[in-house]
Amino acid sequence: MLELEKVEAARRRRVRIGSLTIGAGRPVVIAGPCAVEPGYVEQARALARTGVDALRACVYKPRTRPESFQGMGMEALPLLAEARRHTGLPLISEVLCPEEAEALADHVDGYQVGARNMQNFRLLEALGELHRPVILKRGFGATIDEWIGASEYLRRRGNDEVVLCERGIRTFEPRTRNTLDLSAVVVVRDLTDLPVIVDPSHAAGNRRWVPALGRAALAVGADGLLVEAHPEPTTAWSDAQQAIDLETLTGLVQSARRSQAAPS
């Protein structure tokens, strides 16, 4: 049994995003505000002091309603450069179309494809051809097979630098923003060699529940967490209700350090 576990562990793919390696057995924590704000540089410096491994750096945000804050766009690029210079941490930014990915190529270390774009196949093919790391979130109505199938659009264009991210699915339960499917972590690790991380923030929709869901994700073998965090959560320009504070983030980082990814 032990030998089988060693073989399976060796089969797992490791994905590098800048200085960060996901899937190496050490769970990682990627954190930051939902969207980059004018105060992002100081926020990034404060986040770095908690021990996180990489920063959320989203300058484009798909929102349910058009009047909601959509991100700073290209105006945020100087902030990204300053944040990287001060912290030395990798930056990961959501993109909605190939043109945005190309514009951000020299400014971030990896891309995020959000739940709404999981099956935007032209975007996935374009990101596959760019050969840059991609965190692919599960669509809120997608099956596990559909999610893995979406990852193949990237891989068949020659890009194996893909990380899957479970962020909750839509069910009949209205108390949480989405229903976190922890079983998906176990199943995906059995079906593919790609690392899988968990976003407890979008699953919970409430900052009070994020730490427990994050620790549960680590317990079932997630390769890391993607969380929304802010030095002053109630003032966040986007998704303020689910952003955790720095003290809570520090606790999650410490939980990740005490964990090791479960064998496949």
What's the pLDDT tens digit per position in 89-138? 999 999 999 999 999 999 999 999 999 999 999 999 999 999 999 999 99
pLDDT of residue 3: 39
pLDDT at 70: 64
Number of domains in the chain: 1
Q: pLDDT digit of tens for each residue in the chain (264 aa)?
A: 333 343 354 478 999 999 999 999 999 999 999 999 999 999 999 999 999 999 999 998 776 677 666 678 899 999 999 999 999 999 999 999 999 999 999 999 999 999 999 999 999 999 999 999 999 999 999 999 999 999 999 999 999 999 999 999 999 999 999 999 999 999 999 999 999 999 999 999 999 999 999 999 999 999 999 999 999 999 999 889 999 999 999 999 999 999 864 444
Q: Report if residue 263 sits inside a domain.
A: no
CB-based contacts of 66, cutoff 8 Å, min separation 6: none
Q: Which of 182, 64, 56, 157 is nearest to 116 (CA)?
A: 64
Q: What pLDDT does 2 receive?
A: 32
The answer as to whether 187 is a domain residue is yes
pLDDT at 4: 35
CA distance 6 to 8: 5
Please write the tens of the pLDDT for every residue from 28-45: 999 999 999 999 999 999
**pLDDT in the model for residue 9:** 46
Cβ partners under 8 Å of residue 26, min gap 6: 260, 261
pLDDT at 7: 32
Assigned domain for 264 exists: no
d(CA 101, CA 159): 15
Residue 193 to residue 138: CA distance in whole angstroms: 16
Return the DSSP state at 179: B
Region of 205 on the Ramachandran plot (φ > 0 left; ψ -120 to 50 alpha; else beta): left
Determine the 3-state secondary structure of 111 from DSSP: strand
CA–CA gap between residue 40 and residue 66 (Å, rounded): 23
Strand partners, 227: 31
Say if CB 92 and CB 56 are below 8 A apart.
yes
| E-only strand ranges, the chain | 15-17, 20-22, 28-32, 54-56, 91-94, 110-113, 134-137, 162-166, 196-198, 224-228
Give residue 11's pLDDT. Answer: 77
Residue 95, domain CATH: 3.20.20.70
Kindly report the pTM of this predicted structure: 0.92
Q: Is residue 108 part of a domain?
A: yes
pLDDT score, position 63: 64
Containing domain of residue 223, as a range? 2-258
